[in-house]
Amino acid sequence: MSHHEIAVPMKAKFFSTGTKIVFAIMLAGMAAVAYRFIAGLGAATNLDDQYPWGIWIAIDVASGVALAAGGFTTALLVEIFHKDKYHAIIRPALLTAMLGYTFVAIGVTVDLGRYYNIWHVMLPDMWQGNSVLFEVGMCVMIYLTVLYIEFIPVVVERFKGKVNLPSPLSFLNGIIEWFLSIADRTLGRFVSLFVIAGVVLSCMHQSSLGTLMLIAPFKTHVLWNTPISPLLFLLSAIAVGFPMVIFESILASRSFKLKPELGILSSLARYTPALLGVYLGIKIGDITIREAWPAVLESSPQSWSWIVEMVFGVIIPIIILATPRFRKSIGGLFTAATMVILGVALNRINYFVIAYKPVYADYPYFPTFIEILVTVGFISALVLLYRACVMIFPVISVPVGQEPKKEEDGSRITSPF
């Protein structure tokens, strides 16, 4: 473990100009969510019997899960393979995963027609082991729990012995304090079990997301309709993990006026061309074996989307990150990371929306303004919550000696708002 860095809560004014804009978008998104619950899916979305799934599944859920993959990839790298020099990225990645999966769960709830029945998935009487979605749902639920458990040490570190809720809730202080001390004593011994469980669960459901559409081979465009789709999903999720960490780290350091840890990030980025390369190789092999190359050149929206996904999401980032000069610059890192993230997101959108061909398609699907607003709103909420969390909890690491001064009333749980 590196002793040159220490994770501390960030110090900044919560509402910067950018944050205010994001906050406004979030409020609009929440209004859109309210509209969806009051008026129903038919009124709020362009979903219908031809296109039952739209961007909420493709972006909020599928891309959300993929982009939260940084959580398990860094856990794998640091905690299992003990690459301790990357220790500083564990907590940001964990927080991203935790919040990401939280919003996946919320996003699913918004999309579900009978959301109040979501607990049925947990009833053994209704378990449906043949359903891919069942496995995804179970894994996501358990993994979300695991992520929260993994985060408890961060909470303990911040608040153990300092729980001091204001007056109406002050009676809870003792209980919370007791809980934190129990957690502190026990978790240290068990947290590694949860870390491994998190990796296993991630591997399972990341791949299973790619199995979802295999039940509908006649309705999926040939470019994405492959039985190795789960493998491709897992590989792309693994590949997008580090770029996501890099992307966030650079944004966070910009936002909190810290010096980006260029050395660590460049070093981390070395893995990405290899991981993306494996993904690309298998993808090309798959297209070749299935003789699907004519479909790449058919000049349909699907073929163009596939080309964009592969060129901008995979090939160009490989080139950028394989070039040391670009990899060692903030600009190069950020560009490549962004491209990988958008590429994987586009892959998920392609898989669930663009590639989906209804049997009787009268028209193409395009999301309504409300749908877009909900999705953008959730992303905004995620960003705000992340900002709040890094300001409350010791998530982001800074070199020892550079940590912000402790506040006078830092011992209280205070709202950053």
Partner 1 sequence: MSLDRRKFLGITALSSATLLTGSTHAHEIESKTDEVYGVLVDTVVCIGCRKCEWACNQEHGLSDKDLKSYEDKSVFKEHRRPNASAYTVVNEYRDPADSSKAYSMKVQCMHCNEPACVSACIVGALEKNELGSVDYDAWKCIGCRYCIIACPFQVPAYEYENPLTPQIRKCTFCHERVAKGESPACVSICPNEALTFGPRSKLIDLAHSRFKANPGRYHEHVYGENEVGGTSWMYLTAVDTKHTELPVLSAAPLPPLTEIIQHGIFKSFVPPLALYALLGLIMHTIGDKNEEQEVKE
Cα 334 to Cα 262: distance, rounded to the nearest angstrom:
11
Residue 396 forms beta bridges with which residues? 8
Query: Which residue bears the tokens 């900044």?
Result: 12
Per CB under 8 A, contacts with partner 1 among 49-68 are: 49-50, 52-53
List the one residue from 24, 34, 112, 274 that touches partner 1 (CB under 8 A).
Answer: 112
Token digits for 266? Answer: 């460049």
Binding segment for partner 1 (CB under 8 A), chosen from 78-86, 93-101, 156-164, 265-273, is 78-86
List the one residue from 79, 261, 309, 371 that touches partner 1 (CB under 8 A).
Answer: 79
Using rule CB under 8 A, residue 407 touches partner 1: no
Token digits for 363? Answer: 């028209």
Query: Which residue bears the tokens 């240290």?
Result: 188
Using rule CB under 8 A, residue 371 touches partner 1: no
* Minimum gap (Å) between residue 166 Cβ and partner 1: 37
Q: Which is nearer to partner 1, 129 or 294 (CB)?
A: 129
* Minimum gap (Å) between residue 383 Cβ and partner 1: 27
Using rule CB under 8 A, residue 81 touches partner 1: yes
Using rule CB under 8 A, residue 134 touches partner 1: yes
Helix (H) or strand (E) run with residue 5 in it: strand 5-8
* Minimum gap (Å) between residue 49 Cβ and partner 1: 5
Using rule CB under 8 A, residue 170 touches partner 1: no
DSSP 350-364: IIIIITB--TT-SS-
List the one residue from 18, 84, 169, 412 that touches partner 1 (CB under 8 A).
Answer: 84
Residue 403 CA: distances (Å) to CA of 8, 154, 183: 7, 17, 26
Size of the site for partner 1 (CB under 8 A): 70
Using rule CB under 8 A, residue 88 touches partner 1: no
| Contact (Cβ atoms closer than 8 angstroms) between residue 353 and residue 345 | no
The burial class, CB within 10 Å (0-12 / 13-18 / 19+), for 405 is exposed
Using rule CB under 8 A, residue 282 touches partner 1: no
Binding segment for partner 1 (CB under 8 A), chosen from 111-119, 162-170, 265-273, 324-332, is 111-119
Cα 163 to Cα 56: distance, rounded to the nearest angstrom:
38
| Contact (Cβ atoms closer than 8 angstroms) between residue 233 and residue 210 | yes
Per CB under 8 A, contacts with partner 1 among 179-238 are: 192, 195-197, 199-200, 203-204, 207-208, 211-219, 227, 230
* Minimum gap (Å) between residue 259 Cβ and partner 1: 28
Angle, vertex CA 316, rays to CA 243 and CA 214, nearest 5: 75
Using rule CB under 8 A, residue 132 touches partner 1: yes
Token digits for 14? Answer: 């919560």
Q: Which is nearer to partner 1, 114 or 325 (CB)?
A: 114
List the one residue from 47, 59, 104, 144 that touches partner 1 (CB under 8 A).
Answer: 47
Token digits for 263? Answer: 């050395």
Backbone torsions φ then ψ of 20, nearest 5 degrees: -65, -40
Using rule CB under 8 A, residue 153 touches partner 1: no
List the one residue from 11, 24, 117, 366 that touches partner 1 (CB under 8 A).
Answer: 117
* Minimum gap (Å) between residue 58 Cβ and partner 1: 12
Residue 305 CA: distances (Å) to CA of 31, 245, 297, 343: 31, 26, 11, 10
* Residue 46: other Cβ atoms inside 10 A: 19
Q: Which is nearer to partner 1, 120 or 185 (CB)?
A: 120
Helix (H) or strand (E) run with residue 7 in it: strand 5-8
* Amino acid sitting at position 250: I
List the one residue from 135, 248, 261, 309 that touches partner 1 (CB under 8 A).
Answer: 135
Q: Which is nearer to partner 1, 90 or 320 (CB)?
A: 90
Using rule CB under 8 A, residue 291 touches partner 1: no
Using rule CB under 8 A, residue 368 touches partner 1: no
The number of residues making up the chain comes to 417
Cα 358 to Cα 160: distance, rounded to the nearest angstrom:
55
DSSP letter for 399, please.
E
Using rule CB under 8 A, residue 38 touches partner 1: yes
Residue 113 CA: distances (Å) to CA of 5, 39, 116: 47, 12, 9
Binding segment for partner 1 (CB under 8 A), chosen from 43-51, 180-188, 262-270, 328-336, is 43-51
Using rule CB under 8 A, residue 69 touches partner 1: no
Q: Which residues bind partner 1 (CB under 8 A)?
A: 36-43, 45, 47-50, 52-53, 76, 79-82, 84, 108, 111-115, 117-118, 120-121, 123-135, 137, 192, 195-197, 199-200, 203-204, 207-208, 211-219, 227, 230, 356, 358-360
